[in-house]
Amino acid sequence: MENVVRLLSTLALKGAVCSLAGRYQADGGARIDADFAPTLGLLDRLRSGESADVVILTQEALGDLAAQGTVAAETCVDLARSFVGIAVKAGAVHPDIATDAALRATLLGARSVAYSRIGASGIFFAQLIERMGIAPEINARATITPSGFTAERLLTGEADLAIQQISELKQVGGVEIVGPVPRGLQSPAVFSAGRLAASKKVVQSNALLQHLASPEVAPVLRESGLEP
């Protein structure tokens, strides 16, 4: 049986997984065959019968799959916390987002804000601007991306602010991260991993999960913009 583990992962972990995959295989681990998409997109694919060995999703989504028996509950591990941040095109002025009032003014002053339709960060941002009472103004000129990296819209000139998990913003070259949305306005997303109950690669999958949750992976997670 070929030593390959099929991994479906939320976009937020793409940087970390791509960074560690080669070294993991060189050290005797399985080759990681990874595919990345927003959590809701991955859940749709799993519901429609797509097979995999290991999944990395939001903690809530993984917990639901474990409760349904789709994921082996005893294998679930929390990997990292992630905060939503804001990026601008490299060289652009970094706007003030340090306080609630400054963030509100910055968002209202932007020509267009790019955010994701189905990612955890996009759902958070849609709720945030609703709470701030500025959703109609922002959405009237927002660049809402179906999936993928919102910061790419900065490079095309479609938007001058991009909202996403900081680890996802860091995946796009030619942009600069201004910082996180004020911590008081957000709860960090927690990303967790587990083995699908139907996986035939039990030993390899469990070894990968153990590795992902190990102290040696923590610096890779930090480098990618996550908090182990």
pLDDT the model gives residue 117: 86
Nearest to 204 by CA among 15, 16, 25: 25
pLDDT the model gives residue 120: 86
How far does Cα 45 stand from its chain's mean position?
17
210's tokens: 């153990």
Q: How confident is the model at residue 119 (pLDDT cuts 50, 70, 90)?
A: confident
| Rounded average pLDDT over 207-212 | 97
180's tokens: 């996180």
pLDDT by residue (tens digit) across 125-140? 999 999 999 999 999 9
Q: Does 148 or 91 have the greater pLDDT score?
A: 91
pLDDT the model gives residue 1: 56
Q: Residue 49, exposed/middle/buried by CB under 10 A (0-12, 13-18, 19+)?
A: exposed
| Exposure letters 60-88 (e unless 16+ CB within 10 A, then b) | ebbbebbeeebbbbebbeebbebbbbbbb
* Within this chain, domains 4-81+188-223 and 84-185 share the same CATH topology: yes
pLDDT by residue (tens digit) across 71-110? 999 999 999 999 999 999 999 999 999 999 999 999 999 9
pLDDT by residue (tens digit) across 44-78? 999 999 999 999 999 999 999 999 999 999 999 99
The CA-atom distances, in angstroms, between 185 and each of 129, 190, 220 are 11, 16, 27
pLDDT the model gives residue 147: 83
The domain ranges of the chain are 4-81+188-223, 84-185
Residue written as tokens 């009237």?
140
- CATH code of the domain made up of 4-81+188-223: 3.40.190.10
- CATH code of the domain made up of 84-185: 3.40.190.10
